[in-house]
Amino acid sequence: MNEKGNTTLLSLLFLMIITFFALLTLSFHMKKVSALKKKQDLLLCAKYVDGESKQHISRMQIMNNAIRLLDKAEYTKYLSVVIPILGPVSAAANVIKKLVQGAQETDSGIHITKMVNQIHSRNCFIDPYTILGPYKRKLKLTRNFEGIAIMRKQRWKSYLINKKYLIQLDHNQVTNKTKSMLLSSNIKDYPQLISSFMDSLSRLLW
């Protein structure tokens, strides 16, 4: 009877050990799956941010080109003294130019909304510089003497982060290419992260 009891206890102990290691293995795999999901979500977020930024710039450039032409057409008002028919042309160009500039403001607002939505849908934090877009702005877009929207820089960095990873995107408008670098957001990387986001905030003032 004693031997039977000892055997039962040993069996229970062995079962508990197996259960413990099974739960430990399951926990490890669940953490691994969770980390992979966070990595995938951040990569998808980075892909979206890069693609949307390029599309936004492309649309803005098309509208900038139209504004530049319309700005030149406005100068026909000086010739309207000699050629009266040019008066309405200049007035129409001015109206259309303002409409295109309004379309740029709308496009910029939509771009900001899309960036913010990515934060919620992918649980990735995007730096303020990237959210506001590559064009200079205060309440409205900053424009030059022709009325076209001005870019802050031809090259800039974007930072995207979640609880596990950090992605740095290096945008080059000259070559229209983007380089990406994936980092683990461990506690030792926090000084680098803080430095990155402070750099992002300071560039908003340019």
Tens of pLDDT, residues 145-166: 999 999 988 888 888 887 778 8
CA distance 147 to 77: 17
Q: Residue 187's pLDDT is what?
A: 45
Question: How far apart (Å, rounded) are the C-alpha atoms in residues 181 and 111?
Answer: 23
Scanning the chain, the segments in alpha helix (DSSP H) are 2-74, 86-122, 128-132, 190-203
Q: How many CA atoms lie within 13 A of 31 on its CB side?
A: 7
The Cα-based distances of 104 to 71, 95, 107 in angstroms read: 15, 15, 5
Q: Residue 169 and residue 154: Cα distance in Å, rounded? A: 14
Question: What digits encode the pLDDT tens for the residues 130-149?
Answer: 888 889 888 899 999 999 99
- State the Cα–Cα distance between residues 155 and 172, nearest whole angstrom: 5
Residue 95 has pLDDT above 60, yes or no: yes
Residue, of 68 and 152, whose pLDDT is higher = 68
At 73, the pLDDT band (50, 70, 90 cuts) reads confident
Q: What is the pTM of this model?
A: 0.72
In Å, how far from its chain's centre is CA 203? 15
Side-chain-side CA neighbours of 67 within 13 Å: the count stands at: 21
**Local confidence band at 82 (pLDDT 50, 70, 90 cut-offs):** low
pLDDT of residue 59: 95
pLDDT at 200: 55
For the sheet with 155-161, list strands across it.
Answer: 125-126, 155-161, 165-172, 177-184
Cα separation, 110 vs 157, in Å, equals 21
User: What is residue 45's predicted lDDT score, i.e. its pLDDT?
Assistant: 85
Q: How confident is the model over 165-190, as pLDDT tens digits?
A: 888 888 888 777 888 777 665 545 55
pLDDT 10s digits, 5-57: 566 766 777 777 777 667 666 666 666 666 677 778 888 888 888 888 899 99
CB 93 within 8 A of CB 74: yes
Please report which confidence band the pLDDT of residue 72 belongs to, taking 50, 70 and 90 as the band edges.
confident
